[in-house]
Amino acid sequence: MTIQQHMRFWTVLIALFVLFLILLSDILLPFVLGMAVAYFLDPVADKLEAKGLGRTTATSIIVGIFLLLSCLFIILLVPALIDQLIGLLKRLPGYITALYDFFKPIIARFVDIEMLQASEEFRAAISSYASNAVKNLGSLSSNLLSQGLALVNLLSLLVITPVVAFYLLRDWDRITAKVDSWIPRSKLTEIRQIATDIDFVLAGFVRGQSTVCLILSIYYGTALLAVGLEFGLVIGIVTGLISFIPFVGAIVGFIASVGVAIFQFWPDFFQIGIVGAIFIVGQVLEGYVLTPKLVGEKVGLHPVWVMFGLLAGGSLFGFVGVLIAVPLAAVVGVVSRFALSQYMSSPLYGRNQEQLEGDE
């Protein structure tokens, strides 16, 4: 096959894959989650298999424990999180009004008195906007829930996802061997190396970052709850869960928790300082202990590239797109680096063999 034929083949294949995602995005969620669970737990299955357990037995044990922990999380934490989230939304207009009252004396020093006299209308507008925002959030949440349950109901997530995870985890080695048999023999070494690099990046980022998010969720939720912060559990857990988005999780959590602490503890600066210190310790823990140990520094995913991938995936395919955004970003990154290295060593770039040997 010529280069043009190769390019045409892979272009058509990628276009069909994107079309497949667009057409079936409404039903892909349990399958994507099942695949993610299988990939995440495959190293554990390999270790149990190395200790003498059969693959089916090891898979059954792992999936059973995973389901037990998931059920405990749903039973114990989800109701409390929902209650705190509803309470936070109800208090949001009051927080915005209090924020206005807090900054009003400061603004009065720099704003003309005539403008300040008209501020009551501005305050009323802010309160009205906050109330409408809460109502819109409530209606949006209910619409999302109703549509989500209509498209991919809760039963499918609780039943299909574990079944998909079980069969994929059990047959993981067989599936990878079958895919390996499809690789063109002339490009076997290069494609295997690319696949190894992709797995290294995914294992370093997805598995590592998921563990980091879980640890941070437990830390922030427990710490904020321990100091008595209102809605500390939901703020802490949400902060930890969105920590996979570089810098966003920490910034959102810090602003939300310190803002609530100011309104709850004012003028107790010591309590407010404790809340701020919790996030400082969390950032030190994440930046100098968890991320270097669990994620590593060689995964090759730049924070800007991760954020772009998440936004693009969410915009194109919704929640399913968010789930597959980072793996696809890792694949694109590895393939792009490979293509760049091929270009740099080709005559098209203009470097001859002697220059390449000199660089080595």
pLDDT at 39: 85
pLDDT of residue 358: 54
Task: Give every CB contact of residue 148 below 8 A, 6+ residues apart in sequence.
Answer: none
Angle at which helices 248-265 and 232-241 cross, to 10°: 170
- Give the integer Cα–Cα distance in Å for 333 and 301: 7
Give me the residue spans of the domains in the chain: 23-176, 191-347
Question: How far apart are alpha carbons 317 and 25 in whole angstroms?
Answer: 7
Q: State the Cα–Cα distance between residues 40 and 46, nearest whole angstrom.
A: 12
How many Å apart are CA 162 and CA 34, to the nearest integer?
A: 6
Own/partner contacts of 154-160, CB < 8 Å, gap of 24 or more, are 156/30, 157/29, 157/30, 157/33, 160/30, 160/31, 160/34
- In this prediction, residue 212 carries a pLDDT of 85
Which sign does the torsion angle of CA 240, 241, 247, 253 carry?
negative
Specify the pLDDT at position 100.
65
- 352 sits in the region (left: phi over 0; alpha: psi -120 to 50; else beta) called beta
Contacts by 195-204, CB closer than 8 A, 24 or more apart: 197/334, 197/337, 197/338, 198/330, 198/331, 198/334, 200/298, 200/299, 201/299, 201/300, 201/301, 201/330, 201/333, 201/334, 202/39, 202/327, 202/330, 203/43, 204/295, 204/296, 204/298, 204/299
- Residue 200 CB partners (closer than 8 Å, separation 6+): 298, 299
pLDDT at 150: 43
Q: Residue for token digits 């760049």? A: 340
- Measured distance CA(29)–CA(24) in Å, rounded: 10
pLDDT value at residue 123: 56
pLDDT truncated to tens, each residue of the chain (360 aa)? Answer: 566 776 787 788 888 887 877 777 677 777 888 888 888 888 888 888 888 888 889 899 988 888 888 788 777 776 777 777 777 777 767 666 766 666 666 666 665 545 544 555 555 655 565 555 555 555 544 444 444 444 445 556 677 888 888 888 888 888 888 888 887 777 788 888 888 888 887 777 777 878 888 889 889 888 888 888 877 788 888 888 888 776 777 788 888 888 788 777 777 788 888 888 888 888 888 878 887 777 765 566 677 777 777 777 777 776 667 777 777 777 787 888 887 887 777 777 765 555 545 555
Residue 267 preceded by cis peptide, ω within 30: yes
Predicted confidence at residue 258, as pLDDT, reads 81
